[in-house]
Structure formats: C-alpha cells, structure tokens
Amino acid sequence: MQTELKNQPLRIGITGGIGSGKTTICKLFETIGIPVYYADAAAKHLMVHNPDLVSQIKAHFGTEAYTQSGELNRAYLAGIVFHDEKKLKLLNSLVHPVVEKDAQAWHARQQDAPYTLKEAALIFESGSHRHLDRVIYVYAPLELRIKRVMERDHVSREEVLARVRNQWPEEDKIALSDHVIINDNTLSVIQQVHKLHRRLCSMTKNNV
C-alpha cells in the first residue's frame, strides 16, 4: 500500500456492510483519542458546500439537483441514480475525488494522532483503499444487520436489502481487508478495539 513521509500518522480505513456497526465502533475509537473522518457525512456536506462539485453536479444532472435555497434535492437525484447504474457511477465519480481530497487535507491536520480512521461504506467500491495504509472490516451477520437497520431507520426488510445489493459481496471485501472486527453480539467489541488499537499504535509507515 501507500508509502509516504515518515512520522505521518497512518491512514486506516474502516468499512463494513450496512448496519454492521461501523459508526458504533468508530465512536469507541474516538473515546480512546483516535480522530475519525466520516466520509459519508462529509460527502453530504461537500455536495452542498463545495462550489466546484455543485457546478459539476448541476452540469451533469440539471439545476433541479438543488432546491432554490441551495439544498441538495435528494429525492430528484435518488430518482435518477437508483434506477440507472451508469448515472450512479457518474455521480460517485464526481463526489469521491472531492471527498478524498478533503479527507487527505483533514488527515494532514491530525499530526498528533498515532493513526486516523476514515469511515466509509464504499471504501473498496470507490477505490479509496488505494490511498489508505490498512483497512478494517466490521463484520456482522446479514440477519442481524437487517434487524439493526430496520430498528434504527424504521424501514422495511426490503428497503434494507435494496441497500445491501448496492454493495460488493462481503467475502470479497473481507479478503481485501487487513483486520476484521466481529460485531455479532458474541465477542466484546471493546476488547477487539483495544487490541487492534495497540497493534496499530505499534505500526509506522515503514512496517505496515
């Protein structure tokens, strides 16, 4: 993976299927002082506040992509991209590079951290793992994920499954990951996080 300047904190990605517990686990890392970049939240922010990205989205999807007050017209965009895979790819190809640039600038400001985390649902699908030193995969069985998301978002099983279908097969992503955290209610996630934290703290750019 990437080699950069010595003494830079490592860039660690954290991903996993929908409802696997990525955010929950990132909060645990935050409690022990690790800075976390939430890529999906950043993407939502940048789609409204990055002028170049806004222009690009309007150029490709029409000015209707934004409301009069400058908010993203999510229903309009969703109506296009969730029925047309090419349009979804196009939108991602506009958004992901802007998020990556923002994430790198954020990372460069975290000089005192032993490593930083970048949380994203689509780390491999977007190719952003190429910019990371290591990737953690949060695993939970599909049935548990469906149950958690149905409860959290008050959505139907079918709606959760539709979101799952937009992601790559789990086994492919686990094979590409360097570490796995199992969040299936049988193992202590706190212990797993602490163990992994110690391991990541002992690594440098030269021995990843």
Interface segment toward ligand ATP; rule CB under 6 A; list 11-19, 95-103, 123-131, 168-176: 11-19
Report how many residues bind ligand ATP under the rule CB under 6 A: 14
Q: Considering the complex, state which of residue 13 and residue 19 has its C-beta at the smaller distance from ligand ATP.
A: 19
Per CB under 6 A, does 13 bind ligand ATP? no
- Rule CB under 6 A: which of 98-157 touch ligand ATP? 121, 148-149, 152
Question: What are the two backbone dihedrals, phi and then psi, of residue 11, each rounded to the nearest 5 degrees?
Answer: -105, 115
Q: Which is nearer to ligand ATP, 69 or 186 (CB)?
A: 186
Helix or strand (DSSP H, E) at 137: strand 134-139
Residue 180 binds ligand ATP (CB under 6 A): no
Strands lying side by side in the sheet with 36-38:
36-38, 115-119, 10-16, 134-139, 179-182
Q: Which of 19, 61, 99, 129 binds ligand ATP (CB under 6 A)?
A: 19
Q: Is 22 in the site for ligand ATP (CB under 6 A)?
A: yes
88 near ligand ATP, judged by CB under 6 A: no
Exposed, middle or buried: residue 71 (CB in 10 Å: 0-12, 13-18, 19+)?
Answer: exposed
Q: Is 183 in the site for ligand ATP (CB under 6 A)?
A: yes
Report the relative pairing of strands 115-119 and 10-16 from DSSP bridges.
parallel
Tokens of 44: 């939502």
Which residues, 6+ apart, have CB-to-CB distance to 68 below 8 Å? none
Q: Name the residue with tokens 């590079």.
A: 97
Amino acid at 102: D
- For residue 9, state whether it binds ligand ATP (rule: CB under 6 A): no
Closest Cα partner for 47 from 91, 13, 15? 91
The most distant pair of C-alpha atoms in the chain lies apart, rounded to whole Å, by: 51
Nearer to ligand ATP, 64 or 151 (CB): 151
- Which CB, 22 or 129, lies closer to ligand ATP? 22
- Binding status of residue 67 toward ligand ATP by CB under 6 A: no
Nearer to ligand ATP, 98 or 189 (CB): 189
Instruction: Name the residues that contact ligand ATP, by CB under 6 A.
Output: 16, 18-24, 121, 148-149, 152, 183, 189
